[in-house]
Amino acid sequence: MGRAEFLDETPERPAKRARHVAIIMDGNGRWATRRGLPRLAGHRKGADAVRSVVEACPDLGVEVLTLYAFSTENWKRSVEEIAGLMNLFRRYMRREAAELSRRGARVVFIGDREGLAPDIRELMAGLEAQTASNDRLTLVIAINYGGRAEIAAAARRLAKRAAAGEIEPEAVDEAALDAALDTGGLPDPDLLIRTSGEQRISNFLLWQCAYAEFMFVDELWPDFGREALARALAAYGARERRFGAVAI
């Protein structure tokens, strides 16, 4: 599902439907703390919210869903929490693989895989291969991801190609950089949602969200599901996207 399939949405004729939704899944730890539970209990409950939202997306017209699962900054958390999150990723990929395939979801991972354990990288590659032919939903999962690092890595790739004489420096334009990103070939997000009431994007899809609509909702991620997503999409549909143009 590449950019060509989104050509009916242009700055002159924007779609009222959010085809690509990106979500910063925030509030798992606070959800657990408020209930006197360990933080990992919140992350486990958050995995249930992932399932609910993934199931809802095709019915609500969402064709691409990008989830911020683990940032490059999340390594600053406690050793125990990081280990628990990595084990949760392992369980999610093993447990959900068959269901994702059944629901027609194609899984794509973005982020720096080299920073992850070998068995996690193997599970990621296996899940991508297993779901590669699915076309009902593209599920993009950002693990060990940072927007600035992604842009820097794309610039390095282009610089190496230019140094090798594969491309001229003048050919390094916005389209070339866009294609060199982890998300190359995917459409930009129409709507970025952050749960838990925080109002920042935390180094997530910095390039791709240049013209996205932002929505900050109060629900903590474990409480976010089909109904909350439907409300967010309805609110998006009432907005006017002008892409820098003047409203008429």
Please report where in the chains the tokens 């539970």 appear, as a residue: 37
Amino acid, res. 32: A
Side chain identity at 99, as an amino acid letter? E
| Residue 71 annotated as part of some ligand binding site | yes
User: Would the annotation count 185 as a binding residue?
Assistant: no
What gap in Å lies between CA 23 and CA 224, rounded to an integer?
Answer: 11
Q: ∠ CA 47-50-52 to the nearest 5 degrees? A: 115
Confirm or deny that 213 is annotated as ligand binding: yes
In the block, residue with structure tokens 């990723």:
89
28 is in an annotated binding site: yes
Active-site option among 8, 74, 119, 135: 74
> Is 194 known as a binding-site position?
yes
Residue that is written with structure tokens 């190609």 in the block: 161
Q: Is 29 annotated as a binding residue?
A: yes
26 is catalytic: yes
31 assigned ligand-binding residue: yes
> 8, 26, 178, 188: which one is catalytic?
26
Quick one: 165 exposed, middle or buried, by C-beta within 10 A (0-12, 13-18, 19+)? Answer: exposed
Counting beta carbons within 10 angstroms of the beta carbon of residue 86, is it exposed (0 to 12), middle (13 to 18) or buried (19 or more)? middle
Is 75 marked as binding a ligand? yes
Is 20 a known ligand-binding residue?
no
Distance, CA of 210 to CA of 189 (rounded, Å): 9
77 is annotated as contributing to ligand binding: yes
Active site residue 188: no
Taking every pair of Cα atoms in the chain, the longest distance, rounded to a whole number of angstroms, is 59
Query: Angle formed by the axes of helices 39-56 and 79-102, to 10°?
Result: 20
CA 159/CA 171 separation, integer angstroms: 11
Enumerate residues 6+ apart whose C-beta is below 8 A from 164.
Answer: none
Would the annotation count 43 as a binding residue? yes
- 42 annotated ligand-binding residue: no
Annotated binding-site residue numbers:
26-31, 39, 43, 71-73, 75, 77, 194, 200-202, 213
Give binding residues for substrate as ranges.
27-31, 39, 43, 71-73, 75, 77, 194, 200-202
Annotated binding site for Mg(2+): 26, 213
Catalytic residue annotation: 26, 74
